[in-house]
Amino acid sequence: AVMPGLLLGDEAPNFEADTTQGRIRFHDFLGDSWGILFSHPRDFTPVCTTELGRAAKLAPEFSKRNVKMIALSIDSVQDHLSWCKVRALGGPQGQLVLLPCSKGCRKCPCRLGGTSVASQSVAVLKCRAGMGRVFSIFMEHPTKSRVFVFGPDKKLKLSILYPATTGRNFDEILRVVDSLQLTAYKKVATPVDWKPGDSVMVVPTLPDEEAKKLFPKGVFTKELPSGKKYLRYTPQP
């Protein structure tokens, strides 16, 4: 039988695996943090190389948001070791990112501005026996790339599927994380094209009187032809 992929609200499997940061158990790795897992179709794909370079560069931004990143690829350990020699240009200052891919990569000069990528940014899982169930879940579309965002409760909050020819937009991933974290703790939703600092929407289940108390900066309603006043906005709390 084919193992179905994760659905929103599902709990992440608590797998154990070797990574560039040593052996981990996934739930322990996340701890009380948010987590992002990136799946990659295979090693030596040029699009994925640029993505991990970008992820390493943005590691401080994700860290500010209490987000841990981990990447998953499907090829052999030997391929991971060879991919470790690949360099991707990262950042306007031209820092060189050497992608870490397995435990053996500890011997490689993995550096981003003098800081080890393996220890500071993206942990990369290596394929091993016993990981079949994990791969069947996270690599449901083995020729495509996915982004999984998990909350501190270890449940899936967002999943995006990309074709292998389209690089993931990390600015959008950061924006989505900001929205997920804001809406997880406040009774608001974020409207189309929302960016941090923009007004947000009051959730429909919140009565007007309670909304006024909860959002002292004020609640305003957008006028609609129907006359219904369900588009309620407030400055971002």
Q: pLDDT tens digit string along 61-115?
A: 999 999 988 877 655 444 444 444 444 434 333 222 233 333 333 333 222 222 3
What confidence tier does 35 reach under pLDDT thresholds 50, 70, 90? Answer: very high
Domains of the chain plus CATH, in order, are 10-170 (3.40.30.10), 188-235 (3.30.1020.10)
Looking at per-residue confidence, does 43 or 209 come out higher?
Answer: 209
Q: Contact, 150 vs 157, CB < 8 A?
A: yes
The catalytic residue among 48, 101, 105, 108 is 48
84 is an active site residue: no
In the chain, the amino acid numbered 122 is: V
Average pLDDT over residues 132-155: 69
pLDDT tens-digit map of 194-229: 999 999 999 999 999 999 999 999 999 998 898 888
Range 139-167 burial, b when 16+ CB lie within 10 A, else e: bbeeebbbbbbbbeeeebbbbeebebeee
Long-range contacts formed by 225-230: CB under 8 A, 24+ apart = 230/204
